[in-house]
Every structure is written in structure tokens, then in C-alpha cells.
């Protein structure tokens, strides 16, 4: 991370998948620009870092990126490793640039660990790692499969297991590596951002959120998710952890003839609904979030008022 003197004002927009975080971040940045306040967006989505994975990760479109500067997108190819520590380094550099330009930063996304690493200064560099332990876990994954790793993680670190996407091999492997070294001990204490942060959370009524998730899954398949995936696996190994993400695993099943597109869309929605529940559990543990009801409409006026108060304070 950067030194506190180089840090810009920071507005965090958190919430479950399909709750409207991207739309609100864009609308807020554009509204602030109309008031003469420049803002730049940093994506906090652990899948949007991958180049070429656009439809399935719901990235901001080229037109949206042209209207507001974006960071945190298209950082590595799908076959390159990328950790929360790598993200913290990238975000730190982005924040330093935003501060130099006299703008404010909007950190928007649903990857709670990414948000915490930046906005709370989580000491991710203090998390343990051991190449021998990682190699042993990778071997177990290849031989015994993901369910056995999940079983071990739940046994060694039930608290951590409740916060991890247990369908994501990369996340499970890393969580199990930490668990084998330090058990279920709490994560390192946050160091703080270095100045006040405004946390906004988007809350959407359960029935509405489930409908939005289903509609987005259908829209992504209609928008060419299968074709995007076909192009990617022509260049990269389809067994890479990056392709286990929601949407891409289902698109691969369509390509391989195991799912119809309708079945894939339904499975995509089911996985995202479960993911949204895990996100809700994570964000309930975050203090100081000002929750905005996004069930019926984008709460832009509330976000503008909250940001104005934060900047004036």
C-alpha cells in the first residue's frame, strides 16, 4: 500500500453479486463529475483481473470505462497466478495516482477480502505461506479432488471455511495452506487505510436479488458467454482454476455437450445465489457499513448525500 499522505478520499461500494455495485459506482462518479469533483473507480472483483473474461465477470463496458477511469481490470492472463497481495500492490499504485490527480477513489466490488485488504489495510503480507505445503495441497487436489480439500478445510478451520467460496479451487487451496500452518487463527489485524473511509453497502431484498441473478445469468449466455469461453479455452487450459469461476464452468459444460444453454444458465444462477449468501455473511461482519436499499431503484441520491457529507467532514 501507499503512505497515508498519498492516499485519496475513499468511498467503498460493497454488496452481493447483482446488487448494482457497478451501476452505482458509475452513476456516483458521473454525478460527482457534474459537481466538479473527479472520481476514479477501482474494481474489487477477483475475477475481473483476468484478461478476456469480460461477459462472465460483468466487467464495465469499454464505453463505461471511457466515461470514468477504471483500475483493477485486465491485470493478468487466466493462466497467471494472482493473489490478494498482488491486488493490494496494484490498488496501492492506483490510489497513489488518484491522489496525485486530486481525485477521489471509488472502490467497488463483491470480493470482501480485496475490499478489506485495501480499505482496512489488511496485512496480507503477514499471511503465512510455505511452498512445500502448497505443493502437497496441489497434489492432493489433483489426486483426490476438491471435495476432500473442502472436508479438510472445514475440519482444520471451520471459521475460515465459512467465508471461502468452496467451489473455487484456488481459494480453497490458499485457505487450506494457511489453515495447515496456523489452524483457524484469526486473520492479521488491519493496519487501517490511513484516513477516514466511507463504506456504502447495497442491500437487495432476497426475492428480488434471486430474480436479478437469474436474469443476469440468462443475459450473459445470450450475450455470448459460450463463445467467449470457447475463444479462451482455445488459448488456455480449460482446467485452470480461473475457469472454475461461476459462468465459465457452466459454459465449458455447454461446449463439452454436458449441459444445454438453459441448464447452464440455471446452474450459473444457483451457484451465484449461494455465493451471494456467503457474501452477505462476510459483509455482516464488516463494521461501519452504511446500508442502502437497492431493491427497487439505484440509491444514487443517498450515495451522493453520504459522499458529500464524507468529503465535507
Give all strands of the β-sheet with 70-71 in edge-to-edge order: 70-71, 39-43, 104-108, 10-15, 197-203, 289-293
pLDDT digits (tens, 9 = 90+) for 143-201: 898 999 999 999 999 998 988 888 888 889 989 999 998 899 887 778 899 999 999 99
pTM of the model: 0.87
The domains located in the chain, with CATH, are 4-125+188-312 (3.40.50.300), 128-182 (1.10.20.140)
Beta strands in 67-217 (DSSP E): 70-71, 104-108, 197-203
Q: Which three cell numbers stand for residue 57?
A: 465477470
Query: What distances in angstroms separate CA 155 from CA 109, 161, 220, 282, one per listed residue?
Result: 30, 9, 36, 20
- Cβ atoms within 10 Å of 209's Cβ, excluding its own: 25
- Rounded average pLDDT over 26-44: 98
pLDDT digits (tens, 9 = 90+) for 233-269: 999 999 888 898 899 999 999 999 999 999 999 999 9
pLDDT above 60 (res 121): yes
If you ran DSSP here, which 8-state letter would residue 203 be given? E
Amino acid at each position: 500500500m501507499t503512505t497515508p499522505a498519498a492516499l485519496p478520499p475513499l468511498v467503498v461500494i460493497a454488496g452481493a453479486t447483482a446488487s448494482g455495485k457497478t451501476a452505482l459506482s458509475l452513476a456516483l462518479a458521473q454525478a460527482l463529475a457534474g459537481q466538479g469533483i473527479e472520481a476514479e473507480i477501482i474494481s474489487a472483483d477477483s475475477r475481473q483481473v483476468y484478461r478476456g473474461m469480460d461477459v462472465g465477470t460483468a466487467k464495465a463496458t469499454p464505453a463505461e470505462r471511457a466515461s470514468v477511469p477504471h483500475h483493477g481490470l485486465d491485470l493478468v492472463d487466466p493462466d497467471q497466478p494472482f493473489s490478494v497481495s498482488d491486488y493490494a500492490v496494484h490498488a496501492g499504485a492506483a490510489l497513489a495516482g488518484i491522489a496525485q490527480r486530486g481525485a477521489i477513489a471509488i472502490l467497488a466490488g463483491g470480493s470482501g477480502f480485496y475490499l478489506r485488504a485495501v480499505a482496512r489495510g489488511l496485512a496480507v503480507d503477514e499471511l503465512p505461506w510455505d511452498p512445500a505445503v502448497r505443493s502437497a495441497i496441489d497434489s492432493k487436489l489433483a489426486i483426490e479432488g476438491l471435495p476432500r480439500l473442502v472436508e479438510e478445510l472445514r475440519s482444520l478451520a471451520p471459521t475460515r471455511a465459512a467465508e471461502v467460496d468452496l467451489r473455487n479451487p484456488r481459494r480453497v487451496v490458499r485457505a487450506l495452506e494457511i489453515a495447515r500452518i496456523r489452524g483457524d487463527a484469526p486473520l492479521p489485524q488491519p493496519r487501517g487505510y490511513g484516513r477516514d473511509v466511507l463504506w456504502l453497502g447495497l442491500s437487495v431484498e432476497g426475492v428480488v436479488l434471486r430474480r436479478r441473478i437469474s436474469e443476469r445469468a440468462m443475459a450473459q449466455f445470450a450475450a455470448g458467454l459460450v463463445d467467449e469461453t470457447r475463444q479462451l479455452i482455445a488459448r488456455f487450459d480449460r482446467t485452470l482454476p480461473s475457469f472454475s469461476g461461476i459462468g465459465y464452468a457452466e459454459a465449458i459444460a455447454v461446449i463439452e455437450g454436458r449441459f444445454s444453454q438453459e441448464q447452464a444458465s440455471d446452474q450459473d444462477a444457483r451457484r451465484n445465489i449461494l455465493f451471494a449468501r456467503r457474501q452477505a455473511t462476510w459483509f455482516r461482519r464488516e463494521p461501519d457499513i452504511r446500508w442502502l436499499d437497492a431493491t427497487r431503484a439505484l440509491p444514487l441520491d443517498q450515495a451522493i448525500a453520504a459522499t458529500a457529507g464524507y468529503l465535507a467532514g
